[in-house]
Amino acid sequence: MIHKGLTILSVLLLFLSANPVDGQRKGRDARANAAYDAGEYYVAIDLFKKSYSKVSDKAAQAEIVFKIGECYRIIGEPRQAALWYRKALMQDYQSPDLYLRYGQSLMRYGRHDEALEQFKLYKDLVPDDPRGDWGIESARIAEEWLDNPTGYVVENMRYFNSFQRDWCPSYADEDYMEVYFTSTREDSQGDATHGATGESFADIFSSSMDRKGKWSVPVPVESLNSEFEDGATSFSADFNELYMTRCKVGKNQQLACQIYFARKDNGIWSEPEPVSIVGDSITAAHPAISPDGQTLYFVSDMPGGIGENDIWMVNDEGGSWGSPKNLGEEINTQGNELYPYVHPDGTLYFSSDSRVGLGGLDIFRAKRDEIGNWEVDNLKAPINSTEDDFGIVFEAGSERGFFSSSRKGRGNDEIFSFVLPPLEFAVNGVVRDDRTNDLLEGAKVTAVGSDGITIESTTDEEGSFRFMLKPSTDYVFIAGLEGYLRGKARESTKGLEQSREFDVTVYLSSTARVIELPNIFYDFAKWDLRPESMVSLDNLVETLNDNPNVTIELMSHTDSRGAPADNMELSQKRAQSVVDYLISKGIASDRLQAKGYGESQPKVVDDKILNDYNFLKAGDVLTESFINQLPAVQQEQAHQINRRTEFKVLSTDYIPKD
């Protein structure tokens, strides 16, 4: 299979030995099928269209329509492919593959909902093929990934790109000042027309960057190019050895792609020689040499594989390559795995069209865990797109490099640069009065990082503060102001892959006001704390630890139902239960006083209560007589407001004994 821009070096089937035309294809145009079987999809499209009207059998017509769709899909025209697949559906083409390929083509131009339906149909018909599950998940998650890209910045490399296909960049020197890539532009050496794409055969080109950062006009690397297809380069760690793909064409025949090797001597490449890792009749392409030079990864559809094209590896065994080994199901799928690349740190990158992704080929990163298993991750947007994305290369020690993609640009496949800018984080905060919501000027704010670094600031006339934050760090922002209890807010930059600015508000409670403790619950006529009360009390423990010089009175109130004396006793026991809990959490007993008020202090309605109970007015006092004139449901709500636990600050000069 050949995707747009992968041409012959990409998916390889073009250069497999052509299948003979099946003699049983009666009534079909032999030349169209011969071109299709040989991988000459560009030629086959016109031949199939011409032969369609000559075929009377409905099943044969449906197969021709499906094959036209296949040709368009393989050469990278998903809209045309989807159009012909839809025609095949209308003509009742009998193959589950139709639903899979139709769904894949719809994904390529963002028709995710329609693609989802096709993948579901495919899964129903072929439940054991994971491509159905991967397609369903891809269709469901694509919009989220596109709407939430990672922090990489991607730009079109117009210096490299032409109106033809340009792909598979490789760094050619240790300073990353020279780049080799593959192109079908007019300067290529071969003048034959490619049967799969209608373009010239590809060659290897180079471009160099000067001291001002400007890239030169790309020129062909004459010593590496031939009249055949050349490209997909991979360099050794010292950049003096090169592996590449060459796909030859013989008279009236297609020959298998092979990996070639060249060595640089005094700045000149030797004549490329074939590398003997598979037989001459078996395709091997897309070489990727490991940093230590001991392992060569490549792509092939040789027998023993898992999918249409797999990634294989061979190890250097004392100067010669050993037997190829398939990377297995952790890497390879039933589809295409292409363009392996080994990062200088040993991480394997590759492209696949049959994993959870955005559409077409996506670029994946594979690392081995502590027991040697591969862990594979999709690089997501913006490096990946709904189109084909492949052929990535990195600078050592930085998140910078190039990759190729068939996303919209000047031509077909194009080369793009990518960089992950340093992550920048900041917090913009304000300090407010928790009751009035007023902005508080002059509050001292301390940012305490999990890395041990502490930074201080003071709020301005608008009550605001700002701190720059570090990546992968937890932060606590502690604010304090005379006449207020200290307050805090938390944020974290851990796990974030994009720069971000946080907005936080730190609320401070005035020491001159009574402060209600929300969600303190007791069973009827009992004073034992219920479990759901612990969250609020643990927050109070934290407040007391943040304000170690404060002593407080815990105040418990009941509603007006029941005897006043009983209510007073019950409220005292409830207040004491709160004090006992705080002492159990390490708060010194001489900082705490318990006081029960029974029903003697009905609540006065404030703005905070009004937010939840709009049948009341600010200033209403919830006495028994006031409550009794309310409707029954509102009466119960008013009684609930009166049943509360509060605290007030008694002093701010307590000196801890320890």
Determine the 3-state secondary structure of 48 from DSSP: helix
- Is residue 239 pLDDT above 80, yes or no? yes
CATH topology of domain 515-651: 60s Ribosomal Protein L30; Chain: A; (3.30.1330)
Banded pLDDT at 255 (limits 50, 70, 90)? low
* Amino acid 16: pLDDT: 34
The stretch 363-379 carries a mean pLDDT of 95
Banded pLDDT at 224 (limits 50, 70, 90)? very high
Domain 425-508: assigned CATH number: 2.60.40.1120
The stretch 487-496 carries a mean pLDDT of 94
Question: Architecture of 1-150+161-284+388-420 per CATH?
Answer: Alpha Horseshoe (1.25)
Query: Got the DSSP string for 553-590?
Result: EEEEE--S-S-HHHHHHHHHHHHHHHHHHHHHTT--GG
Both structure tokens of 566? 């009983």
* Amino acid 517: pLDDT: 85
Mean pLDDT (the chain, rounded) = 89
The stretch 397-403 carries a mean pLDDT of 95
Closest to 403 measured CA to CA, from 372, 425, 382, 423: 382
CA distances from 168 to 289, 388, 568 (A): 15, 12, 82
Banded pLDDT at 276 (limits 50, 70, 90)? confident
* Amino acid 24: pLDDT: 38
CB of 488 within 8 A of CB of 477? yes
In this structure, what DSSP letter does residue 632 have? H
pLDDT tens by residue, 337-352: 999 999 999 999 999 9
- Is residue 13 pLDDT above 60, yes or no? no
- Is residue 223 pLDDT above 70, yes or no? yes
* Amino acid 498: pLDDT: 83
Going by their DSSP bridges, the two strands 500-508 and 464-469 should be labelled as: unpaired
Percent of the chain with pLDDT strictly greater than 90: 71
CB of 532 within 8 A of CB of 617? no
- Is residue 643 pLDDT above 50, yes or no? yes
CA distances from 640 to 535, 559, 570 (A): 19, 7, 16
In the chain, residues under CATH classification 1.25.40.10 are 1-150+161-284+388-420
In the chain, residues under CATH classification 3.30.1330.60 are 515-651
522 versus 88: which is more confidently predicted? Answer: 88
- Is residue 417 pLDDT above 80, yes or no? yes
Banded pLDDT at 1 (limits 50, 70, 90)? very low
350 versus 410: which is more confidently predicted? Answer: 350
* Amino acid 190: pLDDT: 58
The stretch 532-554 carries a mean pLDDT of 90
